[in-house]
Amino acid sequence: MIYYIGRRLIQLIPVLLGVSLIVFAILHAIPGDPALVILGEGATPQAVDALRNRLGLDDPLYIQYWAYLKRILSGDLGISILTHRPIAQEVFPYLAATAELAISSLIFAFIVGVNAGIVAAWKRGSRLDYLAMLIAIAGVSVPVFWFGLMEQFVFAQKLRLLPTVGRFNVREPLQVVTNFYILDTILTGDWARLWDVLKHLILPSVALAMMPMAVIARMTRSSMLEVMKADYIRTARAKGISGFWVIYKHALKNAFAPILTITGILLGALLGGAILTETIFGWPGIGRYIYGAISARDYPVVQSSILIVSFVFVVINLLVDILYAYLDPRVRY
């Protein structure tokens, strides 16, 4: 197992190098001059040339890429062209906001999706099965921006139950410790702010959870149907074990490997693909941060942010692979 983990960690290096190279090439293929974007259309050619020289944009692309790699390897994510602040300090609050949203969404999607898939497999061919799969198809098919807008219309405008934008009520102070606001309010014992943070989190997390919930439900149903045909399941039923324990203790554990795989992939996708949800609900996450950097041609921010998201994604997949050995003793590395 230690050899496998070490080998996978080494494999992260070419993956991250490939990501950095692809992002670098795409960014420099986008039309537009970062210096002109920063200075504005009325800037003089002399001012634009001076800024390009100061930012190193006049250097050949391979020199720019090599300078970027050296900064990353030394632990320096660079300085934002637009704000002139260190990216390492600037990016973490946005990454924490997206992580809090993505983890909350995945927890909701996992709980609802797994149980919906179990019920659908347990009651195969029944109305519950058809209802669960209909909801799953709808979850995959309905665009997240439409569902988010409908949530805002119903729960915010009509019922006035939940807020629509932001992470908390900005008119009431919140003591920041880790930038994970749920954790911060618990650490500081600010229970009133905890409820406020949770209310702001409900609508965007449910909207973002619809697609993962549908995928997990369909994967769970498929995996459970295959496992429930096994001899040990029939033996457990023949011994008189209740259907609940047969499903959740015996069948689910052996059907869990593909569910775990898709869950890890979905978490990585949620971290990098929540930009629509963040835009609709005014959520200050990494997606909006990268989008703003792309619009401003802030190359260092885009490169470093995507590299961070990619690193988190591959680490999540590494953890999923390691968990296989625990969940399925037949797995050997």
140-168 pLDDT per residue, tens? 888 888 999 999 999 988 988 999 888 99
pLDDT band with cut points at 50, 70 and 90 for residue 186: very high
CA dihedral 102, 106, 107, 111 (to 10 degrees): 160
Considering only CA atoms, give the Rg of the chain.
24
- List, as own/partner pairs, every contact residues 151-160 make where C-beta atoms lie below 8 angstroms and the sequence separation is at least 24, other chains included: 151/203, 151/206, 151/207, 152/203, 152/280, 152/281, 155/203, 156/203
Distance (Å, rounded) from C-alpha 165 to C-alpha 278? 9
41-86 pLDDT per residue, tens? 777 888 878 878 877 777 888 888 888 888 888 878 888 877 888 8
Closest CA to 163 of 118, 204, 193: 204
Highest average pLDDT, of 75-89, 183-197, 217-231, 290-304, comes from: 183-197
Compare 270 and 100 and report the one with higher pLDDT.
100
Closest CA to 147 of 57, 245, 281: 281
**How confident is the model at residue 329, as a pLDDT?**
61
Question: Residue 79: beta bridge partners?
Answer: 86
251-294 pLDDT per residue, tens? 887 788 788 888 888 887 787 667 888 888 989 998 888 888 88
114-137 pLDDT per residue, tens? 999 998 888 888 888 888 888 888
Letter for the amino acid at 175? Q
**How confident is the model at residue 249, as a pLDDT?**
78
% of the chain surpassing 90 pLDDT: 22
Q: Could you give the C-alpha distances from 239 to 233, 235, 250, in angstroms and in order?
A: 10, 6, 13
**How confident is the model at residue 66, as a pLDDT?**
87
Any residues with CB less than 8 A from the CB of 251 and at least 6 apart, and which? 224, 227, 228, 233
Distance (Å, rounded) from C-alpha 221 to C-alpha 128? 12
Contact 220, 116 (CB under 8 A): yes
pTM: 0.83
Q: Over the chain, what is the mean pLDDT?
A: 84
Q: Is the pLDDT of residue 2 over 80?
A: no
Mean pLDDT, residues 246-253: 80
Distance (Å, rounded) from C-alpha 310 to C-alpha 262? 17
% of the chain surpassing 70 pLDDT: 95
| DSSP state, residue 218 | H
Q: Is the pLDDT of residue 333 over 60?
A: no
For CA atoms 108, 113, 119, 122, give the dihedral sign. Answer: negative
How far is C-alpha 72 from the geometric centre of its chain's CA atoms? 23
**How confident is the model at residue 332, as a pLDDT?**
55
**How confident is the model at residue 331, as a pLDDT?**
60
Mean pLDDT, residues 319-323: 78
Distance (Å, rounded) from C-alpha 321 to C-alpha 4? 10
pLDDT band with cut points at 50, 70 and 90 for residue 330: low
Mean pLDDT, residues 204-217: 92
Compare 32 and 135 and report the one with higher pLDDT.
135
Domains and CATH numbers, the chain: 13-73 (no CATH), 93-327 (1.10.3720.10)
How far is C-alpha 110 from the geometric centre of its chain's CA atoms? 14
Contact 322, 2 (CB under 8 A): no
Closest CA to 278 of 286, 176, 105: 286
**How confident is the model at residue 56, as a pLDDT?**
78
pLDDT band with cut points at 50, 70 and 90 for residue 110: very high
